[in-house]
Amino acid sequence: MLSESIIQRLTATPLFAVALTLAAYLIAMAVLKRIGSPPWLPAILLATLTLTGALALSGINYTTYQDGAKWLTVLLGPATVALGMPLYQQLPRIRQLWRPLAICLPVSASLAVVYALGIAWLMGASHEVINSLAAKSVTAPIAMGITRQLGGNVSLLLGALLVTGVAAIMFVSLVARLMGITDERLIGFALGVNGHALGTVRAFEIGSTAGAFASLGMSLTGIFTALLLPLAWRLVG
């Protein structure tokens, strides 16, 4: 464990937190490459565990790390907007499926909210926990705004986003294999709707078509949830 003086010097600027984050991700990518990149183990999960271990061993407080790493969150918005390029490239194929997608999206996005809140309510979760889990299937930039509107805890939300993304990758891959689904459009859309950014990253690993449909699913789920969830919350409350 590092001494207090060394920690203060390292965290005096955001550079250390940014470098530590990037190093954890690069280590995770190297490890995944060695073990064959299993679909159930996304790089961000391994990077998170690596980063957590580094913070625990060094004695650096998470709040101190977060203050420096917050500059990376500024890139979430532009990264999400950049997903519009593969959408544009796949626009003709998306137009062919607009009817089933328009029917499927409201149902799947609503279920993503209902089952999480239902489980939390049955387990006796507090209002703050329930408010924090409502947007757990939406990409982080939008989900954080929704959670603040609902009065939830953003830190808890971010943990739920990680768990949701990892679980979606595992279950979508498993269900597609069991049901013999090989269409990249279906797999990608399911990953985007249920696994937000993590699912979209996994979809791009499958192929450009899967990635484009994952981007579509993630974007539409975010818009649908941002427009209707706060309204539904006021009506229910």
Biggest CA pair distance of the chain:
61
Q: Whole-prediction pTM value?
A: 0.76
Per-residue pLDDT at 61: 85
Q: Which residue has the higher pLDDT, 54 or 7?
A: 54
- Model confidence at 237: pLDDT above 60: no
Residues 147 and 153 sit within 8 Å (Cβ to Cβ): yes
The pLDDT-based confidence of 30 (bands split at 50, 70, 90) is very high
- % pLDDT > 90, the chain: 5
What angle is formed at CA 148 by the lines to CA 102 and CA 161, rounded to 5 degrees? 60
Residues 199 and 169 sit within 8 Å (Cβ to Cβ): yes
Residues 206 and 231 sit within 8 Å (Cβ to Cβ): no
Q: Which residue has the higher pLDDT, 50 or 2?
A: 50
How large is the average pLDDT for residues 81-96? 75
- Model confidence at 207: pLDDT above 90: no
How large is the average pLDDT for residues 57-79? 80
Distance of CA 173 to the CA centre of its chain: 16
- Model confidence at 27: pLDDT above 90: yes
Residues 185 and 213 sit within 8 Å (Cβ to Cβ): yes
- Model confidence at 10: pLDDT above 70: yes
What angle is formed at CA 220 by the lines to CA 143 and CA 117, rounded to 5 degrees? 45
Contacts of 135 (CB under 8 A, 6+ apart): 113, 142, 143, 146, 147, 150, 152, 157, 225, 229
Say which range, 2-16, 98-112, 115-129, 216-230, has the weakest mean pLDDT: 2-16
**How many Å apart are CA 155 and CA 52, to the nearest integer?**
15
Question: Taking the CA of residue 151 as centre, how many other CA atoms within 13 Å lie in the half-sphere pointing to its CB?
Answer: 7
**How many Å apart are CA 152 and CA 138, to the nearest integer?**
14
| Summary mean pLDDT of the chain | 83
How large is the average pLDDT for residues 207-226? 86
The pLDDT-based confidence of 46 (bands split at 50, 70, 90) is confident
Secondary structure (3-state) at 168: helix
Residues 206 and 182 sit within 8 Å (Cβ to Cβ): no
Say which range, 2-6, 28-32, 221-225, 227-231, has the weakest mean pLDDT: 2-6
Secondary structure letter of residue 138 according to DSSP: S
Q: Which residue has the higher pLDDT, 172 or 233?
A: 172
- Model confidence at 143: pLDDT above 80: yes
pLDDT 10s digits, 101-116: 888 888 888 888 888 8
Per-residue pLDDT at 236: 61
